[in-house]
């Protein structure tokens, strides 16, 4: 699969380039910790923990960030501290800070209603399925061709429960499945960093 190289909107470099920028989406604060909508944040925290990193605020960035080495590559990790629906504000600044001028080097991890709870899928571009965090990123970068790691959270029991569902904490069974999915999403980032996105897709996009 050939990935089209495209400079993100406003991506003039202001910092030392990272080989990969990995952003885990979620809402900040204890109120939202452990909710389904924070599945991406859980995965990026898992990555930081396993590679000796510590996500923390840095001056000028609306995100908790750190840098780690994976397979000899410099990988920047980030959990935006804007709310989910305005994630693009943080991602735009992160892209500039870490010198991401090629969307193959931006990986966004997020929750996905259209996948069963606990399933992990890697994709490049594609539809956003109404995910407001992804829409915000699209609007700021003026592109959707970044790499995405989708963590399934399943559908709510009724359409009317949508917003409350994603902002709720899962049942004990779903919580275990989502914890395993966060680890698997972290595994997928490691494969992307070392072997590339095509290998990650062939490894993780199996039923």
Q: Please list the active-site residues.
A: 37
* pLDDT tens readout for residues 125-150: 988 878 999 999 999 999 999 999 99
What CA–CA distance (Å, rounded) separates 80 from 84?
8
86-107: pLDDT as tens digits:
999 999 999 999 999 999 999 9
Q: Are 113 and 150 in contact (CB under 8 A)?
A: no
Crossing angle of helices 172-195/39-50, nearest 10°? 60
Domain spanning 20-204: CATH superfamily: Peptidyl-tRNA hydrolase (3.40.50.1470)
Mean pLDDT over the full length of the chain: 91
Rounded to two decimals, what is the model's pTM? Answer: 0.91
């Amino acid at each position: 699969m050939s990935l089209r190289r495209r400079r993100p909107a406003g991506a003039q470099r202001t910092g030392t380039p990272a080989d990969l920028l990995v952003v885990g989406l979620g809402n900040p604060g204890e109120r939202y910790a452990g909710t389904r909508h924070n599945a991406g944040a859980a995965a990026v925290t898992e990555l930081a923990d396993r590679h000796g990193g510590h996500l923390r605020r840095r001056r000028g960035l609306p995100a908790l960030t750190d840098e780690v080495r994976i397979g000899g590559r410099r990988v920047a990790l980030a959990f935006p501290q804007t709310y989910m629906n305005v994630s693009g504000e943080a991602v735009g600044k992160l892209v500039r800070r870490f010198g991401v001028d090629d969307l193959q080097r931006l990986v966004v991890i997020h929750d996905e209603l259209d996948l069963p709870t606990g399933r992990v899928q890697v994709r490049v571009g594609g539809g956003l399925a109404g995910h407001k965090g992804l829409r915000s990123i699209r609007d700021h970068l003026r592109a959707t061709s970044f790499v995405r790691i989708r963590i399934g959270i399943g559908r709510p029991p009724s359409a009317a429960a949508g917003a409350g569902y994603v902002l709720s904490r899962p049942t004990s069974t779903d919580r275990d499945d989502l914890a395993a999915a966060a680890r698997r999403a972290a595994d997928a980032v490691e494969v992307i960093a070392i072997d590339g996105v095509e290998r990650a897709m062939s490894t993780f996009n199996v039923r």
